[in-house]
């Protein structure tokens, strides 16, 4: 015999509404994944139309009167506002509704169209190493971003640039970012000088040429060991590695391979795997579509990818295990003469690079700081778009001692601005900082962590992240989560300690 | 200087509405393709929800007041109703609107839910060879199909079963089907008896074991030669081969492989390739979403797949070319001792099989006639669901002389009923009949067709199909198209001539 279900409450209806929107957004993500991995070349025009159609429907749902009414009803219910999960949901839905509603539909459409066309112009400009082809689009992108910021600006975020950052890292400001970046920058510049005075490292073991199918097998083996569930995901080749958490039971990653890049493939695989472990660990089975089953911020997301890439994947104990696995996959002949110590050093070589995504753990953050400073200056119109290439090259010369040979290796290297993503870059360094803080705190709870890694056991590391980070979804803001776990907000000191110790170990 | 566009007419708005619906349906198809080829196992629950959401939105658009109003306005415009393309569009949109509107939303939802659950039950029943696990679902499927038919039944289609057929093959009736099937059945039974009295064919060349990656290369090479555009498509492995025409620039096929099945892989590849050539040839670049850029019927669709699979791919001239290609791909060593004549005979061997999709060109149609007869009897309640296995096995014994060993090789072999597709099967034989009619008529226009095939030239064959079939979309109903091209409606005689000639050539 079945009992009639009780009538649905406003909160039930709100959650159902959020779930329907999330399903539609998951469809959008599935199409985006397909576009990067599977879609035939001639399908691109229709795909742009499909994505625009879905984006419009998602935006309409996220700003609908139905949603606003349900939310208001829930906000007057004390039982909900005193419940930790429900109140976090209400807080974040309110935040998104208010933000999205302040954007005129016309502006949303124009930003979407400009980013579709701007990306094509950027691809061409980068291929031809000709900034002038992208310059008008970059001008338009920053003009639109400025208009967007003017719509979003509130008393909480009076600075234009902060209103943009807030979209990627809720609650973050540029003042707070400067405060955190300043000591890290000084430390990095000094340590880089220091490294240059020390004996150099032999890069050879990291760039031995190995077959790509075996590189895929090796990366797969490591990802399985760290806990990525391939029954709820898959890994495909793509030009730029990425992770898409489509929804419950489906979190996909991509990776890229070069014959002489087996350790790079492992690093980017573990990076995307780290993002994927976060997505797979969010409580989507029960709360799909609700903020409490969503990632907190890009900074926290990046902390998960960086932790697995750097704190685990570039550590000495890890290579004690991983080299043996590599020998099994690639055959002892190819890696027979390589020691774990030599590989550890090679995988941690510090060498300034024009390209952000090819940079080492230390100099990477200088790339981010450059972008943070320039974006802010462009939004505030202290820097003219036309002056960007010259300023960029001067800063690279100053920070890294390199002469940028052309704009493709300079200010045209990143896809972000062409996509209209302004205010995003700083979250990469937030991720590095949070990763080091989490790793240091975790170390106190797991004193035998190094020995576990040498044995290829990563279950306790993952379990700690699951409990402390993944399972909470957006219950807290990023810095509050960090405070709850580590006893303080964002602090670059553990990252500096980590980098100093690494340099001392690798460069003696 | 730009000139202001003239205000959109009702017809412009109608076409824009159809295009938006088609885009949403293309998204549904992309997700369906992904489900069969890429989706990780644990993603299935969310995928079912995504597909149900999209199906609901598509149904709502197809029965919306907005569509109905636009259509009515256009139907009163003489300029439109006298234009061949516009009038075909109005005719078919009216037809679909009327059909879909007669189905209560509640019934649509129940059919969708039953088919999702029924398919799982069918998979289990087939795996366990236990009809009783599927019986209640089959009962429900036919009860729902009967309810659907009662809603759809009109004066044009007073027989319940006809209302269902009409959904797959517009305008077709069971009376007309019987008329066409009867002589084909008699001919087939007699020819099968005749073949059994002749010397047998050596199957060996068709089942040489060859590496699957090379089978994929070979099938790809043949598909490129017949004109499938891989820049507007792709081919992946799947359990059941299929073709999805997602939209302009994106028509994907799948195929399956066995070590000893290289000629089977070629046949199913050419079959799906034939479907894909039709989809790629429809004028979607200009008219996407409109009936004039859509396939006429499943029968005509199947005629395109069968023509490339059988009339081309199982012909003697084709093998004169294809064997040389195969030797290049597989290496002369593996196929060195094989002659084109021997391969042609092996690929055309006639041997009754329990399984429809593994059947030869001749006995295949007996499988279809069985299903047509049984479906009709089930809808009319002349046959009880519980009696199906016994009746099925008796008919297979009678038609093919085989003793069905279990229901997995009998009435549980096809996926169609589990998906709620009742009234579909006959279109497979319509396809065989139309393919033979088109091929015969084309032969008069292309007298050197055989010589072209021996040289691996298929461009004139494709161009003829493009002009006569593909580019017209749904401008005509299936039998009218056939009349326009071949001078008469559906007629099984050319198929019988083709089969007789084949048997004489292969069995001497």
pLDDT digits (tens, 9 = 90+) for A273-318: 999 999 999 999 999 999 999 999 999 999 999 999 999 999 999 9
At A361 the three-state DSSP class reads: coil
CB contact under 8 A, B230 and A53: no
Report yes or no: A50 at the B interface, CB cutoff 8 Å.
Answer: yes
The pLDDT score that the predictor gives to residue B156 is: 73
Query: For this structure, is B272 an active site residue?
Result: yes
Task: Render pLDDT for A368-398 as a digit per residue (tens, 0 to 9).
Answer: 999 999 999 999 999 999 999 999 999 999 9
B416: which DSSP letter? T
Residue B128 pLDDT > 80: yes
Count of Cβ atoms closer than 10 Å to residue A364 Cβ: 19
CA distance B42 to B48: 11
C-alpha closest to that of B351 among B218, B497, B207, B183: B207
The pLDDT score that the predictor gives to residue A1 is: 42
Chain A nearest-CA residue for B250: A43
The minimum CA-CA distance between B246 and chain A, rounded to whole Å, is 9
- Count of all residues that appear for chain A in the document: 508
Task: Render pLDDT for A464-494 as a digit per residue (tens, 0 to 9).
Answer: 999 999 999 999 999 999 999 999 999 999 9
Higher-confidence residue of A119 and B79: namely B79
Residue B146 pLDDT > 50: yes
B420: which DSSP letter? T
The minimum CA-CA distance between A248 and chain B, rounded to whole Å, is 7
| Interhelix angle B160-168/B174-196, nearest 10 degrees | 80
Q: What DSSP assignment string belongs to A279-310?
A: HHHS-HHHHTTSGGGS---HHHHHHHHHIIII
Which one of A16, A18, A27 would you mutate to disrupt binding with B, by most B Cβ within 10 Å of its Cβ? A27
Chain B nearest-CA residue for A234: B40
The pLDDT-based confidence of B208 (bands split at 50, 70, 90) is: very high
Higher-confidence residue of B240 and A381: namely A381
The mean pLDDT of A72-101, rounded to a whole number, is: 95
Residue with tokens 């003239």, as numbered in its chain = B6
Q: What is the mean pLDDT of chain B?
A: 95
**Catalytic pick from A272, A309, A361, A375?**
A272
Q: How far is CA A95 from the centre of its chain?
A: 21
CA distance B200 to A180: 84
CA distance B77 to A237: 53
Chain B nearest-CA residue for A289: B46
The pLDDT score that the predictor gives to residue A5 is: 66
CB contact under 8 A, A230 and B40: yes
The pLDDT score that the predictor gives to residue A169 is: 97
CA distance B84 to B475: 7
Sheet holding B250-255, edge to edge: B235-237, B250-255, B243-247
Write the residue in A34, A41, A53 that is nearest to B23 by C-beta.
Answer: A53
Q: What is the mean pLDDT of chain A?
A: 95
Please answer whether residues A472 and A481 qualify as being in contact, where contact means their C-beta atoms are separated by less than 8 angstroms: yes
CA distance B122 to B414: 9
Residue B326 pLDDT > 80: yes
The pLDDT score that the predictor gives to residue A173 is: 95
At A253 the three-state DSSP class reads: strand
Sheet holding A243-247, edge to edge: A235-237, A250-255, A243-247
The pLDDT-based confidence of B1 (bands split at 50, 70, 90) is: very low
Report yes or no: B428 at the A interface, CB cutoff 8 Å.
Answer: no
Write the residue in A23, A45, A54 that is nearest to B49 by C-beta.
Answer: A23
The pLDDT score that the predictor gives to residue A3 is: 56
Q: How many Cα atoms sit within 13 Å of B83 on the Cβ side?
A: 13
Write the ipTM. 0.93
**Catalytic pick from B272, B279, B375, B479?**
B272
CB contact under 8 A, A43 and B250: yes
* b (16+ CB within 10 A) / e for B479-500: bebbeebbeeebbbebbbebbe
Please answer whether residues B160 and B380 qualify as being in contact, where contact means their C-beta atoms are separated by less than 8 angstroms: yes
Residue A354 pLDDT > 80: yes
Beta strands in B152-295 (DSSP E): 235-237, 243-247, 250-255
Q: Within chain A, what is the greatest distance between any pair of CA atoms?
A: 80
Residue A143 pLDDT > 50: yes
Write the residue in B26, B39, B248 that is nearest to A250 by C-beta.
Answer: B39
Residue A423 pLDDT > 50: yes
Please answer whether residues A188 and A365 qualify as being in contact, where contact means their C-beta atoms are separated by less than 8 angstroms: yes
The mean pLDDT of A451-455, rounded to a whole number, is: 98
Torsion of CA A347, A348, A349, A355, to 10 degrees: 90
CB contact under 8 A, B31 and A26: no
Cβ-based contacts of A50 with chain B (< 8 Å) = 23, 26-27, 30
- Count of all residues that appear for chain B in the document: 508
CB contact under 8 A, A43 and B232: yes
Please provide residue A245's backbone torsions phi and psi, each rounded to the nearest 5 degrees.
Answer: -90, 95
Q: How many Cα atoms sit within 13 Å of A102 on the Cβ side?
A: 15
The pLDDT-based confidence of B3 (bands split at 50, 70, 90) is: low
Residue A63 pLDDT > 90: yes
- Percent over 70 (pLDDT), chain A: 99
Task: Render pLDDT for B94-105 as a digit per residue (tens, 0 to 9).
Answer: 999 999 999 988
B-facing residues of A in 240-259 (CB < 8 A) are 246-250, 252
Report yes or no: B490 at the A interface, CB cutoff 8 Å.
Answer: no
Report yes or no: A34 at the B interface, CB cutoff 8 Å.
Answer: yes
Please answer whether residues A177 and A429 qualify as being in contact, where contact means their C-beta atoms are separated by less than 8 angstroms: no
Q: What DSSP assignment string belongs to B341-359?
A: HHHHHHTT-----S-GGG-
Which one of B29, B38, B234 would you mutate to disrupt binding with A, by most A Cβ within 10 Å of its Cβ? B38
Please provide residue B251's backbone torsions phi and psi, each rounded to the nearest 5 degrees.
Answer: -125, 110
Q: What angle do CA A119, A123, A129 make, to 5 degrees?
A: 135
B-facing residues of A in 259-298 (CB < 8 A) are 288
Please answer whether residues A298 and A477 qualify as being in contact, where contact means their C-beta atoms are separated by less than 8 angstroms: no
The minimum CA-CA distance between A55 and chain B, rounded to whole Å, is 12
The pLDDT-based confidence of B5 (bands split at 50, 70, 90) is: low
Residue B157 pLDDT > 80: no
Please answer whether residues B77 and B11 qualify as being in contact, where contact means their C-beta atoms are separated by less than 8 angstroms: yes
Among A52-56, A163-167, B390-394, the range scoring the smallest mean pLDDT is A52-56
Task: Render pLDDT for B225-237 as a digit per residue (tens, 0 to 9).
Answer: 999 999 999 999 9
Write the residue in B23, B34, B40 that is nearest to A49 by C-beta.
Answer: B23
Write the residue in A26, A44, A231 that is nearest to B46 by C-beta.
Answer: A26
The mean pLDDT of A39-47, rounded to a whole number, is: 92
Q: How far is CA B61 from the centre of its chain?
A: 26
The mean pLDDT of A152-177, rounded to a whole number, is: 92
The pLDDT score that the predictor gives to residue A365 is: 98
Count of Cβ atoms closer than 10 Å to residue B273 Cβ: 32
Write the residue in A45, A53, A233 that is nearest to B248 by C-beta.
Answer: A45
CA distance A238 to A265: 12
């Amino acid at each position: 015999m079945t009992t009639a279900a009780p009538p649905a409450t406003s909160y039930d209806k709100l959650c159902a509404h959020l779930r329907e929107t999330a399903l539609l957004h998951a469809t959008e993500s599935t199409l985006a994944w397909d576009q990067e991995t599977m879609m035939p070349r001639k399908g691109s025009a229709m795909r742009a139309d499909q994505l625009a159609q879905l984006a419009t429907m998602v935006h309409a749902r996220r700003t609908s009167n139905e949603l606003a009414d349900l939310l208001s009803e829930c906000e007057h219910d004390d039982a909900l506002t005193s419940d930790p999960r429900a109140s976090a949901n209400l807080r974040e839905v309110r935040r998104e509704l208010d933000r999205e509603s302040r954007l005129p539909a016309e502006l949303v459409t124009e930003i979407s169209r400009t980013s579709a066309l701007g990306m094509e112009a950027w691809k061409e400009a980068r291929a031809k190493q000709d900034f002038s082809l992208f310059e008008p689009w970059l001008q338009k992108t920053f003009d639109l971003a400025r208009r967007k910021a003017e719509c979003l600006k509130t008393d909480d975020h009076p600075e234009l640039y902060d209103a943009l950052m807030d979209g990627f890292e809720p609650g973050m400001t540029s003042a707070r970012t400067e405060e955190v970046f300043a000591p890290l920058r000084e430390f990095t510049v000094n340590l880089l000088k220091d490294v240059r005075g020390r004996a150099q490292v032999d890069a050879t073991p990291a760039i031995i040429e190995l077959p790509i199918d075996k590189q895929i097998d090796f990366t797969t083996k490591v990802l399985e060991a760290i806990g990525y569930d391939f029954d709820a995901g898959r890994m495909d080749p793509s030009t730029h590695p990425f992770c898409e958490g489509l929804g419950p039971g489906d979190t996909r990653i991509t990776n890229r391979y070069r014959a002489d890049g087996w350790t790079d493939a492992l690093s980017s695989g573990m990076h995307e795997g780290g993002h994927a472990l976060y997505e797979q660990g969010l409580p989507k089975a029960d709360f799909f579509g609700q903020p409490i089953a969503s990632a907190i911020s890009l900074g926290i997301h990046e902390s998960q990818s960086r932790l697995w890439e750097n704190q685990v994947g570039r550590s000495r104990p890890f290579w004690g295990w991983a080299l043996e696995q590599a020998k099994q996959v690639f055959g002892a002949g190819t890696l027979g003469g390589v020691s774990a110590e030599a590989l550890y050093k090679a995988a941690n070589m510090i060498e300034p690079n024009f390209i952000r995504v090819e940079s080492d753990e230390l100099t990477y953050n200088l790339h981010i700081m450059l972008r943070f400073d320039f974006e802010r200056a462009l939004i505030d119109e202290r820097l003219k778009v036309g002056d960007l290439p010259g300023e960029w090259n001067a800063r690279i010369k100053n920070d890294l001692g390199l002469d940028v040979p052309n704009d493709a290796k300079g200010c045209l290297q990143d896809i972000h601005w062409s996509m209209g993503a302004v205010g995003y870059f700083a979250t990469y360094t937030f991720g590095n900082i949070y990763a080091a803080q989490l790793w240091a705190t975790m170390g106190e709870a797991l004193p035998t962590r190094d020995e576990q890694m040498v044995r290829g056991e990563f279950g306790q590391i993952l379990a700690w992240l699951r409990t402390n980070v993944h399972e909470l979804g957006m219950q807290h803001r990023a810095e509050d989560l960090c405070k709850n776990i580590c006893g303080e907000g964002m602090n670059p000191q553990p990252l500096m300690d980590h980098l100093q110790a690494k340099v001392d170990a690798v460069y003696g």
